[in-house]
Structure 1
Amino acid sequence: MITLEHAYVATGLMFAAFSILSLRDPLNPTRFRSALFWGLIALSMLFGSWLGGFGNGLLVIALVVIGATGKLGVGKPATTTSDQRQASAARWRNALFVPALLVPLVAVGGTLLAKHTLAGAWLISPVQTTLISLGLGCVIALVAAMAWFRPPVMAPVQEGRRLMDSIGWAALLPQMLASLGAVFLAADVGEVVGDLIARVIPMTSAFMAVFAYCAGMALFTVIMGNAFAAFPVMTAAIGLPIVVHQFGGDPAIVCAIGMLAGFCGTLMTPMAANFNVVPANLLELPDRNSPLNGVIRAQIPTAAIMLLANMLLMYFLAFRF
């Protein structure tokens, strides 16, 4: 049976490969620091279950110290050339997207199979089924791409290292901020936030409660930089006690759309560095050091429209009027 532990092992092996390749890359100006950074992540993925809370805490502190000492350098991986990539793009055209589309298809299909068929339940663990299916989809997509396009054997690992070098320490922001959200939840920050929002927005109707929840998710995500950090706080403050319990909203619909509302905030904040700051740097935009760089400004109108759409969807779908 495939469990979440297998997904951690696969991810750990990937980061271990990044670490080894970084160490062996003389063109990387910070190869020792990069190798140590990716190596510690690999260590946490491979042996985190045995290290315990204290050991993993030390790893996190070490990663923060390394990230604070300076940027991770970008190596020069030995991979396909620009001419080879252009030739491959001209040959395969839109078929290049097929492996990428396999990832969500396997993720959704694996989740449904595990929950509704005996064979799926035997193959995939019922705990964290969606995450396991997502990891399985990535592996299947990689195998399909290698068999179909036949790139150099090390191309996926080298290209992955190049991408991670470009993102740097920001690759860890989603996990860090999600953990911070769990800490806030344990500290009852949600109750405090709920009281503050209730003083500003009178939640006397289902629509006002939906508005407060979705707007709060987006705003808290702008502050925190990640919807996973905002979700436990805002759901404990407004989503469950008011939208679900007080007005009778469907919890599955409320939580799903609430998370989407938070993602709207992700599009509007420089705190989501891995989404909005890294692309601006990769594109070398002239205003990449501005809090509202070109990437964020281009996304704000779409984010505002989608936030309104999520409010309406939650209001009309979550309640049985």
Structure 2
Amino acid sequence: MRIAVAGGTGFVGQALVKALLERRDEVWIISRSGRGQNSPVGKGLHYVTWSELAEHPQKLEGIDAIINLAGESINQRWTAQAKQRILSSRLTATARIAQIVQALKGKPKVVVNASGISAYGLSTTETFDEYSPTAVTDFLSEVVKQWEKAADAIKVERLIKLRVGVVLNKTGGAFPLMALPYKLFGGGRMGSGQQWISWIHLEDIVRLIIFCVDQPNVSGPVNASAPEPVTNDSFGRAIGKAMHRPHWFPVPAFIMKAAVGELATLLLDGQRALPRVALDNGFTFRYPTVESAMQHMYNKS
């Protein structure tokens, strides 16, 4: 297949591009600056900038799928300026994808547009799947609302809104921040410890994205989260066990908020989301439990 990946140089994007090339797909990475000095090269890998596509969208003529993972990282202090960058980067990239698709004579059959589990709002008691109503309860859920609305302008046969949970990997995303206290022997529950974490292993989200591209029956919202979400307390215990560190030092919510500001909501709030669409369509998670994910990250040979 010929697949374009916006955000292909990012955390999840790099792993996705590697997997696509391994299965011999032709991949076009869309970015602001094109191929950098240290960017990977190889057979079937191409680079194109947003500016080039604005002038010559036909560069992607005949593309089979577009995967849009582009957006400013949320792993930073949420100042007013940072919030604006986080929102506008997502809306701009999504609008550009819509414009590219509109300009193509041969439309891609599928677009996978990233979104977030935050679509459902915050709750400690409810369980959500793709058929649950969405809600705006905080900054991230507002971002997701606008992001998904922007995605509706992408006119293709299959538009998939990939609602991504916390992606687990030792070197990228939010997880290193969550694991840091355990490295320092100061790990424990954060806040009440009863808030839910809907998470997914990096390898599984890459596999799920490819699954969504390949499966003609998959469309609409798809929760990119493992089938067994856990509470913050259980999540921390799994980290401690895998790292051979104690889980004993509770961190009060006010300390987290003082340390990282509103970003603390990533650790202090959450929702219990289940991947109903993925499971109903036959997707199998390699790491369905947080224990299996931690085992793979910390104890594999």
The structure richer in helix per residue is 1
- Using the size of structure 2 for normalisation, the TM-score is 0.26
The structure richer in strand per residue is 2
> Bigger radius of gyration, 1 or 2?
1
The structure showing larger relative contact order (alpha-carbon pairs under 8 Å, at least 6 residues apart) is: 2
- Using the size of structure 1 for normalisation, the TM-score is 0.25
